[in-house]
Amino acid sequence: MTVLAAIAVPHPPLIFPEVGNGKEKEIQKTIDAYREAMNFLTDFEPDTIILLSPHMRWYVDYFHVALAEKISDNFAQFGAPEVKITAASDESFIGELNTFCQARGFPCGILGGHEQNIDHGSFIPLRFLTEAKKDFKVVRIAISGLSIYYHYLLGQILNEVSSKLNRRSVVIASGDWSHKLLDDGPYGFTKEGPEFDAKVREIFKTANFLPLLQMSPQLCEAAGECGHRPFVIMAGAFDLRTVKSNLLSYEGPFGVGYGVATFTAGDVDKKRNFGAQFSEWKQKQVAAQVQKEDAYVRFARYCIENFVLSGKPVSMPQNVASELVQNRAGVFVSLKMHGQLRGCIGTIAPVYANIADEIAHNAIAACSQDPRFMAVRPDELADLVYSVDVLMPAEPITSTEELNIKKYGVIVESNGKRGLLLPDIEGIDSIEQQVAIARQKGNIAPHEPVQLYRFEVVRHR
């Protein structure tokens, strides 16, 4: 047997009357669809329930599988200790999944250890499941900080393990959609909120999962969703098979999108190799991005990719642009992944023989020595976006009135301590915020007197 079916469900705590105190009636369509979805799932008489939650303890580079013989908890964290669940873990499936992933070198397993408390992303689906089925065994799996492609691969592995064990398995992908649908909602409104939900609705109606993998990380971030990665793992479990989908309900009266959908696996269909299609699409995107990069960014990429893949600094190639070899300046190399900072290291003033050496040393440091992040892994290279800032000489100033967050970076200095912040950084909205963060980076207290410097940069992307 394989993964036979799946459902995608939300996890609003107020869905229970004990928490909602009447507000749950405003999402009655979701409640009714939830129960319909659980009955749909139990009709397959599953041996194993695979539950994917975005709110379990998760790791940047590893998929954590909860290891606990018995699952027992209540909803006290939301003021409803009388709402309880009890279930058993499928220990043999967990053991086989752990062994399978270790043999393949895939970063998934039980290293996270026992997880006694149940997150609400797991609790709510399990509570509804107990209404439809009294005895079941569950495997709870967290998302990770790994790429979307790895999440899809995990879905494929879950299907392989189910087949190897001859299990009738089903998947519950727990996830809310956008949290930013209304101005008066708990998280406010962004235009990306409704855009994200519209895309997911179409994907769930058609069961065409390729757009789910191709979804922009920036869109997901701006929409404030928490279901994208569980949905991708679920999609991977259906790779190379036809899927019949049914979007049972969608509503968002509180500013958060709640969708309920069912998915039934069908026959083999080699055209539905969405993981392979996504990988090819991603390679083309990277190639197009590289074509747009100037000499500075292209060289930074060259240094990082070679270092990450070989573990050794690269020799200076002969075709480095002359302006990088003939000039000296301080340089910052910044890396972003999925719209988030992934590393940033630089020099305020030139330290090395030329800008090329400056980029090479700082690029390698940014991908491997930034204390805020793990070293960049080979599988992350395709998702990295680079920028190189070449710093102009800093000049002392006497007042913050001489700063401009878009034009100038700032250096704060006090008793041998120094902090720096580059100009025109997303999320920095005021001079006060810019200076405060520079103080934090230099470990300079808010009350300590400082000497201020400003500088301009030439930013290469």
Q: What is the pLDDT of residues 416-431, one digit of tens each?
A: 999 999 999 888 989 9
Mean pLDDT check: name the lowest of 92-96, 204-208, 379-383: 379-383
Tokens of 316: 């200076």
Give the residue-averaged pLDDT of 17-30: 96
Give the model confidence (pLDDT) of 43-98 as tens digits: 999 999 999 999 999 998 899 999 887 888 999 999 999 999 999 999 999 999 99
Q: Tell whether the torsion through CA atoms of 450, 451, 455 and 460 is positive or negative.
A: negative
Q: By C-alpha distance, which of 63, 143, 461 is closest to 293?
A: 461
Query: Which secondary structure element, helix H or strand E, spans residue 250, and what is its range?
Result: strand 241-251
| pLDDT band (50, 70, 90) for residue 448 | very high
Which pLDDT score is estimated for 147?
Answer: 87
Among 179-193, 305-319, 366-380, which range has the highest average pLDDT?
179-193
Which pLDDT score is estimated for 290?
Answer: 84
Which pLDDT score is estimated for 116?
Answer: 67
pTM: 0.84
Mean pLDDT check: name the lowest of 20-34, 350-364, 376-390: 376-390
CA angle, residues 420, 397, 388, in degrees to nearest 5: 35
Tokens 């080979």 sit at which residue?
A: 378
Q: Give the span between the Cα atoms of 212 and 3, in whole angstroms.
A: 19
* Other Cβ atoms closer than 10 A to 317: 11
Please report, as a single letter, which amino acid is at residue 318: Q
Give the model confidence (pLDDT) of 180-202 as tens digits: 999 999 999 999 999 999 999 99
DSSP letter for each residue of 67-130? --SEEEEEEGGGTEEEEEEEEEE-HHHHHHHHHHHHHHT-SEESTT----SPPHHHHHHHHHHH
Which pLDDT score is estimated for 140?
Answer: 96
Tell whether the model's pLDDT for residue 380 goes beyond 90. Answer: no
The architecture of the domain spanning 3-278 is 3-Layer(aba) Sandwich (3.40)
Give the residue-averaged pLDDT of 40-44: 97
Strands 137-142 and 48-53: parallel
Mean pLDDT check: name the lowest of 22-31, 344-353, 377-386: 377-386
Q: φ, ψ for residue 135 (rounded to 5)? A: -115, 120
Give the residue-averaged pLDDT of 348-376: 94
Which pLDDT score is estimated for 115?
Answer: 66
Q: Give the span between the Cα atoms of 377 and 439, in whole angstroms.
A: 31
Tell whether the model's pLDDT for residue 337 goes beyond 90. Answer: no
Q: φ, ψ for residue 168 (rounded to 5)? A: -85, 100
Contact residues for 111 (Cβ-Cβ < 8 A; gap 6+): 62, 64
Please report, as a single letter, which amino acid is at residue 350: P
Tell whether the model's pLDDT for residue 339 goes beyond 80. Answer: no
> What is the overall mean pLDDT for the chain?
94
Tell whether the model's pLDDT for residue 277 goes beyond 70. Answer: yes
The CATH number for 392-461, chosen from 3.40.190.170, 3.30.1490.150, 3.40.50.10190, 3.90.79.10, is 3.30.1490.150
Tell whether the model's pLDDT for residue 335 goes beyond 90. Answer: yes
Percent residues over pLDDT 70 in the chain: 99
Tell whether the model's pLDDT for residue 99 goes beyond 70. Answer: yes
Do the Cβ atoms of 29 and 207 come closer than 8 Å? no
Which pLDDT score is estimated for 114?
Answer: 66
What letter does residue 117 receive in the DSSP assignment? S
Q: End-to-end alpha-carbon separation of the chain, Å?
A: 49
Percent residues over pLDDT 90 in the chain: 83
Q: Tell whether the torsion through CA atoms of 370, 372, 374 and 376 is positive or negative.
A: negative
| pLDDT band (50, 70, 90) for residue 379 | confident
DSSP letter for each residue of 384-437? EEEEEEEEPPPEEES-GGG--TTT-EEEEEETTEEEEE-SS-TT--SHHHHHHH
Tell whether the model's pLDDT for residue 401 goes beyond 90. Answer: yes
Is 293-390 in CATH node 3.30.565.10?
no
Q: Where are the domains of the chain?
A: 3-278, 293-390, 392-461
Which pLDDT score is estimated for 112?
Answer: 75
Do the Cβ atoms of 257 and 181 come closer than 8 Å? yes
Mean pLDDT check: name the lowest of 29-43, 210-224, 331-345: 331-345
Whether the domain at 293-390 and the domain at 392-461 fall into the same CATH topology = no
Tell whether the model's pLDDT for residue 396 goes beyond 70. Answer: yes
Sheet holding 340-346, edge to edge: 340-346, 330-337, 384-391, 457-460
